[in-house]
Amino acid sequence: MDSLRGKVAIVGAAETEVGKVPHFGATALCVDAARRAMNDAGISKDQVDGLVTCNSMAEPYMYHAEVIAEYLQIFPRYCVSANAGGGTTLSSLHHAATAIASGVCETVLITLADSLRTGLSREQAMKMQASTGHPEFEIPYGPTVPAFYALIARAHMDAYGTTPEQLAAVAVSGRKHAALNPNAQMRELISVEDVLNSRLIADPLHLLDCSLVSDGGAAVILTSAERARDFPHHPVYVLGAGEGHSHEHISQARSLTVSAAVESGHRAFKMAGLGPDDIDVAQIYDCFTPVVLIELEDLGFCPKGEAGAFVEAGETGLEGSLPMNTNGGLLSHCHPGNPGSMFALTEAVTQLQHRAGARQVKNAETALVHGQGGIMSSHATLILGRERS
């Protein structure tokens, strides 16, 4: 298919509680998110004929999507369990939109959740982190996930003179937005000094340079553009989608300062017929602060090496040239693992439906959502709009 532009729309979006949610396990959160999204779209479960989920780390199943379908008692003709790390959400939506546009199904529910905060013991969480690296060439040397991202931070600093203060500015920007979001896990304002004075995790990354560990889930409902006007809220149309995949293990990365976001962003912009200057609000994957700088540059919002100064100057604030991570992002809103970028998607929908309250970006008409999985490995970019073209 040459283009999905304007053929599919998001007509429902919802989130569960996030942070510590001990009264719901990962499966219950997944179902809760699904029910909330269906309620938001004003549909019953019998109207859903497509389902996409992502397997949980806390409550894994061999056939996760089928388990959730059974739990909900829906009987889809399109049923997929996806897993591309933090890029899962947008890859899943890309594929589900293609299924709708090609007539495989009409109404797809994408629901993702996990319980990394209360569903895993400390030992389980550490084992999970340690398993990320290559078993022969990385794991024997003992790095954890923050250490891998510290390599990326140091490479960007060495190449472009990026400072710890500029990394910290990413966390400060997200926290300002989280303070306006009643559903965010962390809402207390922080300063650059707070970030730099927080505990060192993996040089040069401090605790507040690192994303949260959370419970939570979110879901969206997709349907064809022709049917989208029949739903309660303003449709949010898929204008462009693209993916880029460069490596699996960081030791095999072609570059530590240029990512496959270059390819995913180019493909999404080309499909949408838009460019970076046309984007009103962006939700950029922020598992660690240096990731945001590389993605901003690779997606074309800044020249290479200038994203640190861009964020430091306040351009990612609500009144800046590119309001970014308006829900607080993974650094302040929540991060339940693979479903993390799902909350960027639901926030983009909320912004484009002009339902974001105190954190609403004025006159938002277009949004870019970007996710990445692995260690800057798999990238997916989505461009959304209030109008079909």
Phi, psi of 341, deg, nearest 5: -75, -5
Q: Are the C-beta atoms of residues 237 and 386 closer than 8 Å to each other?
A: yes
DSSP-H helix ranges across 289-371: 289-298, 307-312, 329-332, 340-352
Residue 371's DSSP bridge partners are 380
Residue 383's DSSP bridge partners are 240, 368
- For the stretch 314-359, pLDDT in tens is 999 999 999 999 999 999 999 999 899 999 999 999 999 999 999 9
Which pTM does this prediction carry?
Answer: 0.96
Residue 368 has pLDDT above 70, yes or no: yes
- The whole-number pLDDT of residue 237 equals 98
* Rg of the Cα atoms in the chain: 19
Count of residues in the chain? 389
Domain residue spans in the chain? 8-119+212-385
SS3 24: coil
Residue 122 has pLDDT above 80, yes or no: no
SS3 311: helix
Per-residue pLDDT band for 131 (boundaries 50, 70, 90) equals low
Nearest to 37 by CA among 14, 69, 9, 11: 14
Residue 289 has pLDDT above 60, yes or no: yes
Residue 271 has pLDDT above 80, yes or no: yes
- For the stretch 74-92, pLDDT in tens is 999 999 998 767 777 788 9
CATH number of this structure's domain 8-119+212-385, picked from the four choices 3.40.1190.20, 3.90.230.10, 3.40.50.720, 3.40.47.10: 3.40.47.10
Nearby residues of 310 by Cβ (< 8 Å), 6 or more positions away: 296, 301, 302, 316
* Alpha carbon distance 13, 40 (integer Å): 6
280, two tokens: 């009103």
SS3 333: coil
